[in-house]
A and B are shown apart, each in its own frame.
Chain A
């Protein structure tokens, strides 16, 4: 579904992605992990066409994404920081995104699920961080696209909302979607994901199931396994 070959990107003079190859053919949930500055966000944004690669090729469903925008209909993206035009009301933002992408009824259920009804007429500028993130989630999940990309989806959520988010992700997985997640919360990753893509210094250092990683590093939990992976590479 997503095929990346020798992706190279540098910002100014700092190389961020160094001839990265990644091939995601299976359905399921993939966690993209890595220390700060390893290129996670750059990778995601490259897939979304927000970052223009210097070299390399990205194909989504077999189609080269260079200079097109249509393929993004097949991707739902949850950005890391949800800052919306502060003069718009929640209702209007949802309406607007629908207007831009096409109509859907799924938002009604999501709004109810996350308890956003009382906020619908508020301006986005007046919302708390957590509520904004809920709006963000509604905007992402209301379209039923085969690929989901979630950048730090848990930011600012209360425990209840977190559980609902997890349920939501599982439900989407069952529908046979491909879901990419970045997160710093290892328990969340361990609970949710099937496979891990570990980025380090612009390249993939590990790709495989969590179990395989634990076995390789002889650790019992993911957090330590990752730490071990890092340690090994630093030495």
Chain B
């Protein structure tokens, strides 16, 4: 499953599909996850001065291809935080659509007093709970983690999601070692996500 899809499951309740984080943090986190997918394809490279993009045939996945196209279309380099803000506006909905197409989520419509409430809910509770359980378990047992899992662990920390889990024992040293072992572009991506979420708390808007 793509990184962003797994992070979507981690940031949403495995039964109700409700978000576990505030809207800005979800947006920044999922935007970072999408950029991470492009990093893994070696198509973008987040750096301190901005997100560099490599011109290449579009990736197979439609959503990732679209983001790649958006990066290519920009005439100049933009800082990571601008990309997080830009992609963060639509990332949650975009990823939900992609996950509905692959059968991980379903769009449930509930008739309410006024209008219809639409929400994306996980199709399988077990599948939805798996990424969180896996990451926590591997951190706790200090097992070797794949790059994808390290990214997920990093984003969990950066978005504040790690505060919602009762896993004090794996916070701190284990988590930071996992992040520190990532390549520099991914560390920058995670650091910028952490700052974006922090700034969202620290300002009014």
A and B associate = no
Q: Taking beta carbons and an 8 Å cutoff, which residues of B are in contact with A?
A: none
